[in-house]
Amino acid sequence: MRLPTSEVNPKATWSQPTPTEFERGIRVWIHLQKAVKQVTWHRKGDYFATVAPDANNSAVLIHQLTKHQTQQPFKKTKGAVQRVMFHPNKPMFFVATQRYVRQYNLQRQELVKTMQTGVKWISSLDPAGDNLIIGSYDKRLCWFDLDLSSKPYKTLRYHQQAIRSVAYHKRYPLFASCADDGNVQVFHGMVYNDLLQNPLIVPVKILKNVHERVDALGKRYYYYDL
């Protein structure tokens, strides 16, 4: 993984834990100037990115554990950043603002494309293979073919309330969306080797009445009624 050449960001301070904190499992502290709303890891485990929407141009920071360094990959962020994601097996980095998703190539250090989602407010995203899914607060799930177009190949409207999270299955051609209506929608997305054959997206299952439980450590668990 390569990052844009830049100086260590002064808006992030690394410090060592106290002996008591070390015993509790804390290995390092990173102090940022604004509240962090998202943390996401690179697949190799040495890098992770944070999003602090109120930090303006330094809303997106990328941290390297082995060197205890933080970099600001963008001098300016076009729009209020909502979410970021590393591609699971390609040197790609996705940055979602309220209405657009920008795809960057980390090796070439350049913008690949800007995706026009057509939604009012993006809430979540997840890339896999040559595809990308995004969820929105206006109840839409958009499926992109990254090689085909900067606009969604398919926009799905199966939820009655805001979508909070979307995710691809790690092994199978399945993806899901979870919304404030308490339901999880599971879809099968088939992409064919024949480029003349259109992808097939089929609803598979609705998990209804999904509940959220928060334990004493603040961890969130989700379960549904069978």
Model confidence pLDDT, tens digit, residues 115-149: 999 999 999 999 998 999 999 999 999 999 998 88
Report percent pLDDT > 70 for the chain. 88
pTM: 0.85
Model confidence pLDDT, tens digit, residues 190-212: 887 776 778 889 999 998 876 65
Can you give the length of the chain in residues? Answer: 226
Instruction: State the DSSP code for 208.
Output: -
Which tokens is 45 given? Answer: 């485990």
Amino acid (1-letter code) at residue 178? C
Residue 22, phi-psi category: left (phi > 0), alpha (psi -120 to 50), beta (remainder): alpha
Model confidence pLDDT, tens digit, residues 23-36: 999 999 999 999 99
The residue extents of the domains of the chain are 1-73
